[in-house]
Structures are given as structure tokens and as C-alpha cells.
Amino acid sequence: MGKSPRLVIADECAAETNSLVYNIPVTMMDAYRGRNVILRSSSARELAECFLLTDASLIRFVQLVSLDEDVSPLEGAGVGIPLEVSLQDTAHYERLYRLVNLLDSHPVRIAIPVVSGFNKAVKLAISLNFAVKLELGQPDDSLLNVLESVLDSYLHHSYVRQPIEFFHTTLISFYLEQPTSLWDIAEENPAQLRYITDENKETISPRFAGSHLNTSLANFVEEFSNKLVSEKRECYDCQFFDRCKGYFKWPNSFYSCSGIKKILGTLQDASQEVKQDLANYRALGARA
């Protein structure tokens, strides 16, 4: 017997809900049991204990949001589960040394806010062989200048052995000529991931906490980007809009993206250089 339209719709809604990833405090683990989750805590011990209490296959990664406490409980716990560590205060970047032993049991990524002095934290993180995720809001000109120097290091210095996001995935996107949205790279696309605040409020990411959105979360990126295009301002004819989708226009939609477009242009040029280098290499091989 075929399913009624109402049941089909219900099944589709359930499938959509089950495919979502929820970024939650570990204290809410029971409420999200059976769902795909990112577990976060300021306590390494609390995260280590959660590995014993939930299905590891449903944990996308865990977030340690503070380096104020001992991180050793995570050494050897939840082996293989990716770990992201938030360096919320870049002035304390030397605390990254505490994390080196975690590389024996976890892929480790350091989330670094793009604020004054962030480049020192990035340099140390990559020297210690950590992957890096840059957390951008709407950087001013001084931060954009530093961001360009970090990009230059990523592209040209051999000591950079791990990805720096958003650079890494965007470069691959240009190389493959397959647009990837910065909302996805930053893990802020609410069609895929929802952030649950400590107060149990569902939103897009920490930078949206407390914001009143005039649309459903699932449709936010599409409706927000469409609105930006309809205003016929900077986004209207931007050559990088298929990758940005207005990511840098929140919360101030009048933010100038000239510096961001320069960085995206550098990544695009670099992808073409890689293609040309590979073509030259293959040509040499064919003539050998």
C-alpha cells in the first residue's frame, strides 16, 4: 500500500531532521541522543567522559572552548574523534603547547578569531602541526592586511603542512571549479548545522546568538543572499558571490568586501597556477 501524501511529507521532514548536525553543550547530550552532534565543553574531563556515554559514530567532532583547565584527560580518550580547540583569547597563544600530546590520539584543529594579534597564534599552531580554522566576522583594513600575510604563508611556505580554513577549501573549490559556499566552510549553514546555545536556543552559530532572524533557519542563507542581490549593491555583480553568498555581509550589510575580494582573487589565481604547474609537469613527463 502506498503512503499518503501526509506520511510522505512527515518522512521527508524526519529525514531532514535526522541529517542535521547539532552543536550542543555536553550537558544536553541526552536530549539529542541518536542525532548527529558536535559536543562542546570548557572541560576536557567532561568531554572525555562523554565518549563513554554516547555513540561515537554520531559525534562529528568535539569542541574544547577553553584552555583554562588541564587538557590531559583527552589524551587517549575517544581515539580518532576530531577535536577542535577554541583559542578565544589570542594573547594566550602559548597555551597551544599544552595540546601537542593530543595529536597522538586526535586530529586537532585550532579555531582562532581574526582579531589583533591572531597571526602569532596561527604561526604557532601551524608550527606545532595543528590544522587551523580562522573565525572571521567583518575584519577591518588592518586585520585584512594581516590576513593577506597569513594567506601568503599558507600558499608559499613549506612549513605549513595542515589546512588553514577558509583558505584551504576555497582554493580546492577554485581548482575543481566547483563553488563551495563560505557558509558551509565556516560550518554556519543552518540547512546543515544548528547551534544550540547554553540557554537551549537554536540558532546558526555563536555570532548569531541573540539575533532576531526574520526567516526560518533552514532558509536563512538562501533568503539572505537573495535579498542582497535584489538590493543591487556590492553583491549584485560580484564575481565571487557563488562562493560567498553574502557571508561577510552579516551583521552589517553595508560592509565593504573589497579586501575579502582581493583575498578570494589571490586564491583563484593560485588555483590556476597550480593547474599550470601540473600541466607543465605532465608535459615534461610526456616528452621524457
pLDDT, tens digit (0-9, with 9 covering 90-100), for 137-151: 999 999 999 999 999
Any domain includes 225: yes
| Cα–Cα distance list, 41 to 67, 102, 112, 205, 282 (Å) | 11, 16, 17, 15, 49
Q: Are 224 and 190 in contact (CB under 8 A)?
A: no
Any domain includes 287: no
| Amino acid at position 269, single letter | D
What is the residue range of 21's domain? 5-279
As for how many domains the chain has, the answer is 1
- Sorting pLDDT into bands at 50, 70 and 90, what band is 42? very high
Q: Any alpha helices (H) in 99-257, and if so which ranges? A: 118-127, 141-156, 167-176, 182-185, 220-230, 241-244
| pTM, full prediction | 0.89
Tens digit of each residue's pLDDT (9 = 90 or more) over 159-201: 899 999 999 999 999 999 999 999 999 999 999 999 999 999 9
Any domain includes 244: yes
Any domain includes 245: yes
Any domain includes 286: no
Q: How far is Cα 8 from Cα 28, in angstroms, rounded to an integer?
A: 30
Tens digit of each residue's pLDDT (9 = 90 or more) over 150-163: 999 999 998 899 99
Any domain includes 82: yes
In terms of C-beta distances under 8 Å and separation of at least 24 residues, what long-range contacts does 281-286 make, across chains too? none
